[in-house]
Amino acid sequence: MTPLLTPSHDLLDLIHGQPHRQRLYRQLRGLPRRTQQVLLYSRLDELDYPAIAQRLHLTLGDVEQRMQSAMRVCCKPLLPGQSLAIHWYVKLQNPLTTASERIDFRRWLDSDGAHLAAFHATELQWRQLLAPATLLGHDRWHHKARQGLSLRGWATAGLAMALALELISQSL
């Protein structure tokens, strides 16, 4: 394998450098919180999809869908066939992918030279996501449960609701 294609040397980093990483970071920040968590658990913590699904109380299909969504946002503009390449790339990262699904992937990959190029571009994009994902998850926020209202918060909300109802009833 040439040095250009080793994990430490990414083509887009060599071409685009820092502005590209910043663009990817902004795109990741624009994703829904749950999608960000799925991506960070996969990319930073190297959890498999079943573990992510269990940790976030999602179905395996939801985890795959959110991973595909994140990849599609970060792979714009999409090459011809890249939407399916993203589907396959995400599917193949699932340890529960069956042998028949892997055969279907191989058939898809072999059916058109553009599929190989799209899959390769998707793999390069996946590698590119490490630096922006590391920045996004640097404080490990994705491990923390979303904070709900405290007792004081609920009490304040209840008082505000009672006051609003009183004001409405007085105006009628």
| Alpha-carbon gap, residue 128 to 151, rounded angstroms | 43
CA 122 from chain centre, in angstroms, equals 13
Domain assignment present for residue 26? The answer is yes
Q: Which of 101, 92, 106, 41 is nearest to 70 (CA)?
A: 41
Domain assignment present for residue 38? The answer is yes
Q: Is the peptide bond before 19 cis (omega within 30 degrees of 0)?
A: no
pTM for the whole thing? Answer: 0.71
Domain assignment present for residue 164? The answer is no
Q: Which two tokens stand for residue 74?
A: 């970060």
Q: Supply the pLDDT for residue 81.
A: 85
For tokens 């992510």, the residue is 52
List Cα–Cα distances, 24 to 91, 127, 163, in angstroms: 22, 12, 46
CB contact at 8 A, 43 and 132: no
Domain around 134: 3-146
Going by pLDDT thresholds of 50, 70 and 90, the confidence category of residue 148 is low
Domain assignment present for residue 154? The answer is no
Domain assignment present for residue 153? The answer is no
DSSP reduced 3-state for 65: helix
Model pLDDT for residues 72-129, shown as the tens digit of each residue = 888 777 778 889 999 999 999 999 999 999 999 999 999 999 999 999 999 998 888 8
Domain assignment present for residue 161? The answer is no
| Alpha-carbon gap, residue 44 to 128, rounded angstroms | 13
Computed over every residue of the chain, the mean pLDDT equals: 83
Domain assignment present for residue 12? The answer is yes
pLDDT higher at 148 or 5: 148
Q: Which of 118, 47, 50 is nearest to 88 (CA)?
A: 118
Domain assignment present for residue 156? The answer is no
Which spans in the chain are helix H? 11-16, 18-29, 33-43, 49-56, 60-74, 82-92, 99-110, 113-128, 130-136, 151-171
| Alpha-carbon gap, residue 162 to 34, rounded angstroms | 33
Q: Is the peptide bond before 77 cis (omega within 30 degrees of 0)?
A: yes
Going by pLDDT thresholds of 50, 70 and 90, the confidence category of residue 140 is confident
Q: Supply the pLDDT for residue 153.
A: 66
Structural domain count of the chain: 1
